[in-house]
Amino acid sequence: RISEDGYIEGAPELVVEIAASSAAYDLHDKLRVYRRNGVQEYLVWCIHDRQIHWFSLAAGEYQPLTADAEGILRSRQFPGLWLATEALLAHDLAAVLGVLQQGIASPEHQAFVQILVET
């Protein structure tokens, strides 16, 4: 939201981090800080472990998002934001982009965009 004097206020809906040596800090300490401040989703790409962790805030606690049968993580906060985790870890950016484009073309994303347009 925008304050009366034109500043952005409140927590972001999504935080994305790339972690190397700070993975333990990013997955624990920061997780608590983001939860306390109401960040709705938090994604951490741990490059050394070759893992992507995506959490969604539900009832005051972060729940890990799990990939579907196709290996795709789907944002709960941003319908249509889809991430092909195995393709990303394999540096197959064409596949990552293809999955993202499928998400953007989904009816869920189109409904989300319509809500944004109306507000």
What is the chain's percent helix, strand, coil content, to nearest 5? Answer: 35, 25, 35
Report pLDDT for 19.
86
Report pLDDT for 70.
92
**Which string of b and e fits 97-112 if b means at least 16 CB within 10 Å?**
eebbeebeeeeebeeb
Report pLDDT for 119.
75
pLDDT band at 6 (very low <50, low <70, confident <90, very high): confident
pLDDT band at 11 (very low <50, low <70, confident <90, very high): confident
| pLDDT tens profile 31-54 | 889 999 999 999 999 998 899 999
Which residues, 6+ apart, have CB-to-CB distance to 70 below 8 Å?
84
| pLDDT tens profile 94-107 | 999 999 999 999 99
> CA of 73: how far to CAs of 22, 31, 34, in Å?
23, 19, 20
